[in-house]
Amino acid sequence: MKKLLYILLLLCVTMGADDLYGQKRRSRNNLTPVDIKARRTRPVPVGDSTGYAMVGDVVLYHNGAVITCDSVVRYSERRMSCFGKVIVKKEDTYIYGNRVEYNRDRGEARIYSPLIKVRNKDATLYTYNLVFNTAKNIGRFYGGATFSNGTNTMEAERGYFYADLDEIVGVENVEMKNETYTMRSDSVSYNSEKEIAKYFTRSVTWKNDGEILASNEGDYYNKEQRYLFRGDAYVLSANQEMWADTIDYYEQIQYIELRRMAQIRDEEHKSVVFGHYGNYNDSTGDTFLTKNPAYMSFGDADGDGLGDSVYMRSDSMYLYLIDSLGYCTLTRPDSATLAAEQAKKVQDTLDKLKADSTAIANAKREIFTSDSTTKARIAARAAELDSLVALRTELAVAEKNDSLLGVESAVVARIDSLRANNPRIDSISIAKTDSMNLVRKALIDSLSRPKVDTVPVKSERDRVMLGLHRVKVYRSDFQGVCDSMLMFSADSTAQLHKNSIMWNEMNQVVSERADVYTRAQKPYRVLFSEGKPLMSAEVDTTHYNQIAGKTIESHFEDGVMYRTDVVGNAQTYYYMVDDADGALMGFLVAESADMSFYIEDNTVVGIMYRGNPVYTIYPMDKIPASQPQRMEEFVWYIEDKPSKEQIMGEWIVNPSERERYEAMQPPKFPITYSILRHRDALVAGGRWADRKDDISQLAKDFIKKVQKRK
């Protein structure tokens, strides 16, 4: 009888283990036991105790995970080893290896193999060392790993995968790529279902179009092709650098949004713009900035590339490429019309003043014919009159060069110099230098001046900048405020609109519109128009020189004003100052059709009136009470004159990081290269198989039986 019982027990052990280890639902420490099935089982000595060796279609089931293999040694109910063609599966996660050490208490499977493969849906991971927690469904890998999902590849020294979340985290020497970018970081997570990558340390991304992106942390949404970078975010392109606390980059539509401490440096247009919110369209080059925006242009004067800069602030700023905005929508003076009108005006003035000058010369000749010295002077004057013929030729050349704007004043000044003996003119002349030298200088300037009023040939990179509301502008040699401002990169011009005020040295000009023409970033001509332009200069805290007219045009050399022309209803309030002690000598009140002022060292050295001037000079103690000393429109706005510090405020120009980032080497994926080369060698040598098989049907049936029993 005892012999029969022993045989029955042996048959039970050798024929299957699913009943032997699947009956007790709880162990002594209240942990769920491991359910095991095998074709054959036999006891084996394990130290001082007895374990069991199981072979043939072995299946282990614990914490919802299944392990299949060729054989198992069960050392105790807590620990067991699996050998041969091991698959660890939980839900959609498959892990392939040669051996697994499983710890029931920790729910931990430690996989061993020359190379370990993990598959989850369309994602694949290769690594050398892996521990998988069946309770938490989390794997930990180390010693190097490479992960791929579609066109996405990531490698890292170590990391984790979260099977329930379809997410993998790479830590240390992380490199990642897809068809549009490569990236280097120290900590990255990637969700293979949502195709979202998250960066947790300083990361650098190289886009295939040549741009470089960097930030302390951020996200990449592969399906949307969207980069969201946070913390010292940076973008480098061929011509620009961008900084912001947050940069949101929609690659598909080439749209970039910048938030907090935004700064865009443009090397092509030599400018930097700032704001706490902005957006940029890379396909059109359009930029918008607001929330305390500022603008700075720079040259190449010093090592940092920052020359005599122009600074601007407004409520909002728009920067457009000309083609994107439509250059024709921005109304500008018609250069052809201006040239024709100017040519006729110059010719009429030339004819009239030549006749006047000839009459004056003839009268002088009749009076002083007996004076040999006078004869010599008359001969000289005649030679000067003959030079008008040469001026006509110069005028024709100027017309061809579209430089008429400077010729009129030069011609008028040169002819007017022949009337130096006219007592009415001489009485208000305060010239300290040879007027003909001034004329020659103005004429040379006008003939050598390039075209400035013609609409320039458009370039696809020509840009318009628009500042809206409460605009302030600063440069070392001029400052201004207005309601709105336009700047054109094509011809380096600017327009100030509505309530514009500009300052140069001690001069202030108020007008509704100002057109500023620059060369090498320095103004050489400013035209004030619309409303009633008024130029003022402080003599002392209670006395101000004032000039008004329909238009006021100032000319500059190296940023310093040397001539101002007033056209139409010209009015002057001017204080004459004793050079010796600075005392006020007299007060000039004058009106004429047009006038010109010649300036040296910020001092008027010549005044030229044209068109029946009417004037009065009052001694300072004889100015009648009925004579105003300030024009009706006069206001001294010196307190509104902006400084660089006011415009820049909190903004500090970031030094260029272009050289540093361009010197960085893009990722080369050494871990991926090493693992894939090792994989191919293992497969070729027959020492390892790159598997993708599922668990057997017997294993699936066993799991159903266990689940039904539970």
- Judge if 107 and 187 occupy the same domain: yes
Domain membership of residue 655 (yes or no) is no
Number of domains in the chain: 4
Domain membership of residue 109 (yes or no) is yes
The residue-averaged pLDDT of 431-452 equals 37
State the maximum Cα–Cα separation within the chain, in Å, rounded to a whole number: 171
Poorest-confidence range of 97-101, 156-160, 409-413, 495-499?
A: 409-413
Instruction: Identify the pLDDT of residue 297.
Output: 82
- Judge if 282 and 386 occupy the same domain: no
Instruction: Identify the pLDDT of residue 209.
Output: 87
Instruction: Identify the pLDDT of residue 129.
Output: 96
430 by Cβ neighbours in 10 Å (0-12 / 13-18 / 19+) ranks as: middle
Comparison of pLDDT for 266 and 367, the residue scoring more: 266
Query: How does DSSP assign 64-86, residue by residue?
Result: TEEEEEEEEEE-SSSEEEEEEEE
The residue-averaged pLDDT of 2-23 equals 40
The residue-averaged pLDDT of 316-345 equals 52
Poorest-confidence range of 40-49, 87-96, 121-130, 352-361?
A: 352-361
**Whole-number Å distance between alpha carbons of 695 and 66:** 9
Q: Which of 413, 448, 483 marks a domain boundary? A: 448
Instruction: Identify the pLDDT of residue 24.
Output: 41
| 412 CB-side CA count, 13 A | 22
The CATH number of whichever domain residue 601 belongs to comes to 2.60.450.10
pLDDT higher than threshold 70 for residue 342: no
Q: What is the pLDDT of residues 633-648, one digit of tens each?
A: 999 999 999 989 999 9
Confidence of residue 267 (pLDDT cuts 50, 70, 90): confident
Domain membership of residue 285 (yes or no) is yes
Q: Which of 279, 300, 324 marks a domain boundary? A: 324
- Judge if 82 and 103 occupy the same domain: no
- Judge if 99 and 231 occupy the same domain: yes
- Judge if 407 and 373 occupy the same domain: yes
The residue-averaged pLDDT of 52-74 equals 93
Domain membership of residue 139 (yes or no) is yes
Poorest-confidence range of 50-54, 61-65, 274-278, 447-451?
A: 447-451
- Judge if 371 and 505 occupy the same domain: no
Poorest-confidence range of 156-165, 240-249, 603-612?
A: 603-612
For the stretch 543-554, what's the b/e string if a residue is b when 16 or more beta carbons lie within 10 angstroms of its beta carbon? bbbbbbbbbbbb
Poorest-confidence range of 420-429, 565-574, 624-633, 694-703?
A: 420-429
Terminal C-alpha separation, the chain = 36
Tokens 């949502």, residue? 194
Q: Please, are residues 298 and 309 in contact by the beta-carbon 8 Å criterion?
A: yes
Confidence of residue 356 (pLDDT cuts 50, 70, 90): low
Tokens 């900035």, residue? 289
Domain membership of residue 668 (yes or no) is no
Domain membership of residue 682 (yes or no) is no
**Whole-number Å distance between alpha carbons of 179 and 396:** 62
Look over the chain and give the mean of its residue pLDDT values, rounded to a whole number. 78
The H or E element containing residue 393 is helix 372-400
Highest-confidence range of 153-167, 320-334, 379-393, 416-430, by mean pLDDT? 153-167
**Whole-number Å distance between alpha carbons of 627 and 168:** 87
**Whole-number Å distance between alpha carbons of 697 and 67:** 13
Q: What is the pLDDT of residues 161-183, one digit of tens each?
A: 999 888 999 999 999 998 888 99
Comparison of pLDDT for 600 and 348, the residue scoring more: 600
497-503 long-range Cβ contacts below 8 angstroms, 24+ apart = 500/528, 501/637, 501/640, 502/478, 502/526, 502/528, 503/478, 503/479, 503/638, 503/641
Q: Which of 324, 356, 379 marks a domain boundary? A: 324
Which among 479, 354, 496 has a CA at the least distance from the CA of 411?
Answer: 354
Domain membership of residue 678 (yes or no) is no
- Judge if 359 and 443 occupy the same domain: yes
- Judge if 286 and 158 occupy the same domain: yes
Domain membership of residue 667 (yes or no) is no
The residue-averaged pLDDT of 383-407 equals 41
Cross-strand partners of 614: 591
pLDDT higher than threshold 70 for residue 670: yes
Instruction: Identify the pLDDT of residue 347.
Output: 53
Highest-confidence range of 11-15, 138-142, 208-212, 301-305, by mean pLDDT? 138-142
| E-state strands within 299-424 | 310-313, 316-321
- Judge if 358 and 432 occupy the same domain: yes
- Judge if 76 and 57 occupy the same domain: yes
Q: What is the pLDDT of residues 97-116, one digit of tens each?
A: 999 999 999 999 999 999 99
- Judge if 311 and 431 occupy the same domain: no
- Judge if 228 and 101 occupy the same domain: yes
Which among 166, 173, 152, 95 has a CA at the least distance from the CA of 127?
Answer: 95
Domain span at 28: 1-90+688-710
Torsion-angle region of residue 703: left (phi > 0), alpha (psi -120 to 50) or beta? alpha
